[in-house]
Amino acid sequence: MKFAYAIPFLILLALFSHYAHAEVYVAKGQYGGYFDSHGIYTVYGYVGNNETKPVIAKVGVEVNSGGTVFSESSVLPVIYPSMSMMPFKFRFPQITSGDPILLKPGVSFIPTDSRSLNLDVIYDKTLKQYPDGHLTGFIKNTGNGTAYNINVYALVYDKYNQLLGAVQSTTTISQIRPGEKAEFVMFPDHTIARDVAYYSCFVPGTENTQELSTDVNSKKFYFSVNSIVYFSNQEFDKNNNSISFDAANPWQITYYANFMFPKDSSNGDFKVFIDGKEIKSLVSRDQDTGNWHVAFNVDYGQHKVTIFGFQPNLVPNSDEYFYLTPQLALNSWAGYLTFTISDSQLLEKLGIAGKFVPPWVKNDVNYMIFDNLPADYVINAIRYLAHQGIVR
């Protein structure tokens, strides 16, 4: 399964530090902070890209509060030249009072060959701002490939054209096929909502998640990894019950990788080796899905990573659906993902006994997607139908 947003890095180019005067920058005067509705100091701004190529940027901010300097950093979604900027927001739970001093931000970046997402915000009457400050709108896929795990980012301004903050869509759009539209919703923090006059600089972007697969006993074995480290050339070794990868970390920092494997693929006795040496890893099990998480750190540079601990004679008996949340499982079952799961697979994911769900239940899924109906409402309705014997 290949995803349109996978990023082919220009591996290990020199990593440069840039500030407001460079081609990748945090704009001066477009960077600030406030105490949010929970009393937590929040810093906002955006990173601009005047390079001729897309970039992956890491932004770092520092705040001096009472003589103590606190810092936060994050790797942002790809910033394309045509988009030119990517909003960001950091919260500092250590700072809840006083007069924090916001220090000069820093930006590091690498160019990439990532292709444009070809996602456009639709600027018509459907892009609507409400009296309480929140906004709804649609994006459209104008390209030839399906895009996955999309968020929409934007900046909000007051009537004096002063930047108030950065906002992000409330839910991630799991996928959007060529020609399709998808709705997004944005809520600014209550502290600034009453002063929001308009939104600007809408930018669709993807999370740093890679969905991978490899052949195991003539079947596709699906799994995922959340990381800015790029993993490729995955290969299963049935003699050692392991999967090996080429890993490239182009950042001059150590960064984590969090793999998720199907629940039936292992007993949990995973071991991770990097360049032939066993390293410390954190193994846990997802409370909702039962899937395994294997997390570990990867140093700067190129490495060979091997993960041991899969079931002997493993034959994949799941499919792409293993990593779905209950909400995404409903989307897939109703036909809104690139693959469709069966009634029994949906009920398994929801923890409901049975193999049959009436087709008309998909109407509720439509309301969930297009009218922002909570997923729990649909799940509880299916549970009620199971209690009544209609789902069986």
Q: Is residue 245 part of a domain?
A: yes
Least confident range from 39-53, 106-120, 125-139, 373-387: namely 106-120
- Could you give the percent of the chain with pLDDT greater than 90? 46
Question: Which of 186, 206, 226 is the C-terminal boundary of a domain?
Answer: 206
Structural domains counted in the chain: 4
Helix (H, G, I), strand (E, B) or coil at 138: strand
Residue 81 within any structural domain of the chain: yes
In a domain, 265, yes or no: yes
Neighbouring C-alpha atoms within 13 Å toward the C-beta of 123: 6
Residue 215 and residue 227 share a domain: yes
- Do 213 and 267 lie in one domain? The reply is yes
Reading phi first (left if > 0) and then psi (alpha if -120 to 50, else beta), residue 389 is in: left
Rounded Cα distance, 192 and 181, in Å = 29
Is 69 within a domain?
Answer: yes
Q: Is there a domain that residue 5 lies in?
A: no
Residue 34 has pLDDT above 80, yes or no: yes
- Is residue 131 one of the residues assigned to a domain? yes
User: pLDDT band for position 150 (50/70/90)?
Assistant: confident
pLDDT of residue 370: 55
Residues 136 and 94 grouped into a single domain: no
Domain residue limits at 146: 119-206
3-class secondary structure, 377: helix
pLDDT exceeds cutoff 90 at 244: yes
Q: Which of 41-45, 125-129, 217-221, 303-307 has the lowest mean pLDDT?
A: 217-221
- Same-domain status, 101 and 37: yes
pLDDT band at 15 (very low <50, low <70, confident <90, very high): very low
**Mean pLDDT score of the chain:** 83
Burial class (CB in 10 A: 0-12, 13-18, 19+), 99: exposed
C-alpha to C-alpha distance for 56 and 213, rounded to whole angstroms: 24
CATH of the domain at 93: 2.60.40
Q: What is the DSSP letter of 349?
A: H
Instruction: Give the pLDDT mean for 232-247.
Output: 94
Contact criterion met (CB below 8 Å) for 154 and 167: yes
Buried b (16+ CB within 10 A) or exposed e, 77-89: bbbbeebebbbbb
Mind listing the pLDDT tens digit for each residue in 355-378? Answer: 999 999 988 887 776 555 778 889
Write down the pLDDT at residue 1. 28
Q: Which of 206, 237, 264 is the last residue of a domain?
A: 206
Closest CA to 185 of 376, 378, 331, 370: 370
**Token pair of 234, please?**
């995955």
C-alpha–C-alpha distance, residues 362 and 330, integer Å? 8
Q: Which of 22, 3, 25 is nearest to 76 (CA)?
A: 25
Please report which residue ranges of the chain form alpha helices under DSSP H: 190-193, 326-333, 343-350, 362-370, 375-387
Residues 241, 299 within the same domain: yes
Task: Tell the residue number behind the tokens 């929140």, with chain if given.
Answer: 134
Beta carbons of 243 and 310 less than 8 angstroms apart: yes
For residues 200 and 246, membership in a common domain is answered with no
How far, in Å, CA of 306 to CA of 296, rounded? 12
Residues 297 and 213 in one domain: yes
Residue 199 and residue 248 in one domain: no
pLDDT for the residue numbered 269: 96
Output phi, psi for 38, to 5 deg.
-100, 5
Closest by Cα among 54, 114, 42, 122 to 85: 54
Q: Residue 303, SS3?
A: strand
Is 318 within a domain? no
User: Taking Cα atoms as reference points, which of 170, 145, 197 lies closest to residue 3?
Assistant: 145
Domain boundary among 60, 79, 111: 111
162-174 tens-digit pLDDT: 999 999 998 778 7
Q: State whether residue 150 is helix, strand or coil.
A: strand
Q: Does the pLDDT at position 80 exceed 80?
A: yes
Same domain, 124 and 199: yes
Give the pLDDT confidence score for residue 227 in this predicted structure.
78
CB proximity list for 351: less than 8 A, separation 6 or greater: none
The size of the chain, in residues, is: 392
How many Å apart are CA 215 and CA 347, to the nearest integer? 27
The CA distance from 61 to 91, in Å, is 11
Per cent of the chain over pLDDT 70 is: 86
Examine residue 353 and state whether it is found in any structural domain, yes or no.
yes
In contact, 121 and 152? CB cutoff 8 Å: yes
**Residue 390 pLDDT:** 93
Local structure of 5: helix, strand or coil: coil
Q: What is the mean pLDDT of residues 38-65?
A: 88
Identify whether residues 304 and 339 lie together within a single domain: no
Chain segment 172-228, per-residue pLDDT in tens:
787 788 899 999 999 999 899 999 999 999 999 876 666 678 999 888 898 888 777
Cα distance from N-terminal residue to C-terminal residue, the chain: 32
Local structure of 359: helix, strand or coil: helix
Looking at the structure, tell me whether residues 154 and 142 fall in a common domain: yes
Kindly report the CATH number assigned to the domain that includes residue 221.
Answer: 2.60.40.1180
Pull the structure tokens for residue 336. Answer: 């809104």
Question: CA–CA separation, 45 vs 64, rounded Å?
Answer: 17
Q: Are residues 99 and 176 in the same domain?
A: no
